A and B are shown apart, each in its own frame.
Chain A
């Protein structure tokens, strides 16, 4: 009887440590590109609360304040403005350089997890974000099923649907704006459907493997309303809005391996493959190493390498596009590599309160680099 009770106690202790905990996390996150080109300031809060052993709710709110400049083609004779000039402009007035912008974004995410008697989990989530020219609503559902009694193997299936409204600048002469109301913006939509199937395998007491396959289907306005291309540079140069295809299908796979190398040293590594019908293929390798100095202080270092191929409609030159249907000089559609270096620390002030901080350096060689960081406090209750 005593053995049975202690077994049950151990089981509950172990499973409760695997389950979520009650906490409030408050963080300030910042992002600064070189030469102050783009600055983002993001205060945020996350609340996680268990309701008994069967329900967990999670709420997070983030607010981004973005200011700075982004490099696009523009008409230098009218100043560095994102406005598209009407008709032909002079070749000498076409310039690729920074155009100022500012934005605010608020994002709210809410999820509720229900655990069944088998300890399988059903999570339903909602995401909402709003910017002055963009609104996004998302619903998601995910089911996690354990394949064995020791819960060493699990499979998860998830799907989400996202509906986005994008406000796009339009010219009364060239776009189908509602001219009767004198509107200068038109709302376009973008629908995103995502599906993911995952498999987790505990390998031994100190290591586990996660893998997933994902599929993303996007339909609607996928261009960036601020990005410009130069068309017909040599005969009749014009600046026009970039034109990306109005659909994108992508799939990929992710493998993640976690291993405690000793009581104090842990490593997490992952590889992601991505491919889409715009002909972008990408590979992401990520490695993190954590060291627990003692019960209070944990530090971490991380390195992420990313590489991608070029989209089929991308070209950076001013004298490339003429009358192609799809045209983009958006650097993110180009072929490039990037590296991200990370340093982090977590210090437990007491059993209830901990503080954490991290500093990251992100670098796309020959284009830009940025520091981003966070400072946070977590209260467990």
Chain B
């Protein structure tokens, strides 16, 4: 019963966190037609997760994959490893 309660509390907390994140990030967003020559900022490496360091991002994902029970979402290519 304690486990069920803990699980339920965690689920509610996660949903609240997720909703807060979505509202914070996208609240009031309006989509604009951005011309190609206006995309200098969007092209910055800092606009990408990991700051554009592809090798270290792969290394970090490899660590998460070998230490945690889930994966995916970072693209279909990734390669396998003997760390199931």
Q: A residues near B, CB below 8 A?
A: 7, 10-11, 13-15, 17-18, 25, 27, 29, 31, 42, 44, 46, 60, 62, 103, 105, 107, 109, 111, 125, 127-129, 131, 133-134, 136, 138, 140, 142, 150-152, 158-160, 162, 164, 166, 190, 192, 194-196, 201-209, 212, 214, 216, 222-224, 244, 250, 252-260, 266, 268-272, 274, 276, 278, 280, 282-283, 285-286, 288, 290, 292, 298, 300, 306-309, 311, 332-334, 338, 340, 344, 346, 356, 358, 360, 362, 364, 370, 372, 374, 376
Q: Does the CB pair B77–A46 fall under 8 Å? A: no
Q: A204-B34, A300-B51 are in contact. List 18 more A-B contacts (CB 8 A).
A: A25-B53, A29-B55, A29-B59, A42-B59, A131-B81, A136-B79, A138-B79, A151-B36, A164-B80, A194-B72, A203-B30, A214-B72, A216-B72, A256-B49, A260-B42, A268-B48, A364-B67, A374-B56
Q: Does the CB pair A136–B84 fall under 8 Å? A: no
Chosen A-B contacts, 9 in total, with CB atoms closer than 8 Å, are A109-B77, A158-B76, A194-B76, A195-B76, A204-B30, A205-B41, A252-B73, A255-B22, A298-B46
CB distance from B69 to the nearest CB of A (A): 5
When distances are taken between beta carbons in the complex, the residues of chain A under 8 Å from B35 are 14, 150
Among A160, A257, A260, A340, point to the contact of B76 (Cβ < 8 A): A160
When distances are taken between beta carbons in the complex, the residues of chain B under 8 Å from A257 are 25-26
B1-58 contacts to A (CB < 8 Å): 7, 10, 14, 17-18, 21-22, 25-26, 29-51, 53-56, 58
When distances are taken between beta carbons in the complex, the residues of chain A under 8 Å from B55 are 25, 27, 29, 44, 46, 60, 62, 374, 376
Among B17, B25, B39, B64, point to the contact of A202 (Cβ < 8 A): B39
Q: Does the CB pair B84–A268 fall under 8 Å? A: no
**What number of A-B contacts does a CB cutoff of 8 Å give?**
243
Question: Which of B72, B78, B83 has the largest number of chain A CB atoms within 10 A?
Answer: B72
A370 to B30, CA, bound (A): 41
